[in-house]
Structure formats: structure tokens, C-alpha cells
Structure 1
């Protein structure tokens, strides 16, 4: 197999595995994964674009499938998944900066997008600034705290786990 084909296969395999893990964590922990107050443990995986660009489509597809399986309405499926995609893209762009900046993009993108979906899509009668706070707390726990734990563990084994030529 030539190098380019091998790299593409590895990229696809990593993306698929990340999507699958995201879905399994979200669905298995469903009571915490959905609603106006949520700590979606799978969002800890949004740290992965620091290690591989394959995490970007993996996180997007994983979030998309999770939102569909969770019975989300169309605006949630679309905009919730886009929030994760934006967070993953900007985390990738920050990969060579201070490691503590890496969880900020998914936290910020979810704080700016998800409360509007909750308020206007699901008709949650809470004020948007309050929903920004509840979403933010959940994202800080999942991305900021759990994500940095994932980062610390994976950083020790970076080359063995994420061997890509990308």
C-alpha cells in the first residue's frame, strides 16, 4: 500500500473511532448528555484535534449521530453539531499554543450556540444568559476538566496512538 493511501486509511479509521466513542459515551450517559443542564462527558473528546486532524470530522459525525439518537429536533441536530465542529476546528488551530487554550473553542462555541437552540428550538422558558451559564458550566466540566485529563493521558503516548503523516 502506498504512503498516501495508508495515511488516508489511518485518517478515516481514526475519525470513525472517535465518532463511535463519542456516540457510545453520549448515549450510554444519556441522563447527563441531553437537556438544558447537561454535562456531555463525550465533549471531553473535543481535545483530540490537538493530536490529530482526524478528530475534526470524527467529533462532528459523533455529535450529529448522538443528537439524532437522542431524539433532538432538527435545529439541535444541525446547530449543536456545528457548535462541536467549530470547537474542533479552532482547537486544531490552537494545537501548537498553550495546552490550556485547547478546551476553550468548544466551550465558547457551545455557550454561543446551544442556548439559542434550547430557548427557541425547545422553547425552554429560561433566559438565554442563564442558559449560557448552564451550558458553560457543563462544558467547563466536560471540555475543561475532563478534556484536560484526557489530554494529560494521551500526551504521554502521543506518538504511539496518533501516528499520522498529516
Structure 2
């Protein structure tokens, strides 16, 4: 598949828009030391769809502009999402595919969130990690099951 065909670009844009809107609509729960980004359920999508890699990156970048944590979150939070999306696309099954966003967000995003929140790093890792486990892990696997059912693809 050509990465610059119109179908790929549309998929990328739709994923970016949905991620951004879900993040912004959830308000304060999407940012800070205790995060529950419902949009992170979408981080399973690179396992199924290559257009989700740039889509999640762009969506996260745009959402983080509204987040209040500044340039560090806009740049490095988005790059963390990009790295997690890429790694998710390389996982052997959907159950392992949820690990990159959970682990990368917990350990990397917690660096600046703990600094800006004046909280210790390790508890921030746990709170962000727990939010990611719920959104990327639990909700992500539910989304994967729905995706498989709709597309007829059963990928284990």
C-alpha cells in the first residue's frame, strides 16, 4: 500500500481527529498526574492499521496543545505516542500490543508530569500507568474485539 494514497491519508486524518476530540472532551481527566484518556483505547489500532501510527501522533500533538503542560508535553508526549504506536504495530498479538502505550506513557510521560505537578516520579508512574492500563489495556482490547468483529479479521 502506498503511504500517500488518499485512503491512507483519510484514515490517518479520521484517527487523528477522533483521538484529539476524545482527549479534549474528557478535559482534566486527560492531563495531569492522574490521567484517564479514553482516546488511548485507540492505541491498539496500529496493530491492525498502519495509518493509525501517524494518526495517533497527529491527534496527540493537537490534543496536547490544549493540555496545559506546555511545549514539553506537546513535543515529547506526542513523540512518546509515536514510538508506542510504532512498537504496537510490531507486536505479535493484540494482548502484547497494548503494552507499548502502557509502559512508555507510564515511564516517560511521568517524567515531566511529576515535575510540573511537584509529585514524586514513582507514584506518578503508577497513576499514569494505571490510567493507561484501563484505557489502552482494557478499553483497547475491547476496541480490538469490536474492530475484529466489524472487519471480520480475527487476529490473535
**What TM-score comes out, normalization by structure 1 length?**
0.87
Instruction: Give the one of 76, 89, 114 matched to 2:86.
Output: 89
* 1:104 corresponds to: 99
Unaligned runs of 5+ in 2: none
For residues 25-72 of structure 1, the C-alpha deviation after alignment (integer angstroms, 9 at most, x for no partner) is 011111311111010000100000011110000000000000002233
What RMSD, in angstroms, separates the aligned Cα atoms of the two structures? 1.7
Q: Which has the larger radius of gyration?
A: 1
Secondary structure of 1:35's partner?
A: coil
Aligned length: 153
Contact 2:64–2:74 (8 Å) recurs in 1: yes
> 1:33 aligned to 2:26?
no
Instruction: Give the one of 128, 132, 137 matched to 2:121.
Output: 128
* 1:146 corresponds to: 139
> 1:61 aligned to 2:58?
yes
Give the Cα–Cα distance (whole angstroms) in 2 for the partners of residues 69 and 126 of structure 1.
Answer: 22
Give the Cα–Cα distance (whole angstroms) in 1 for the partners of residues 118 and 140 of structure 2.
Answer: 30
> Residues 53 and 130 from structure 1, CA distance in 2 versus in 1: closer, same or farther, beyond 3 angstroms?
same
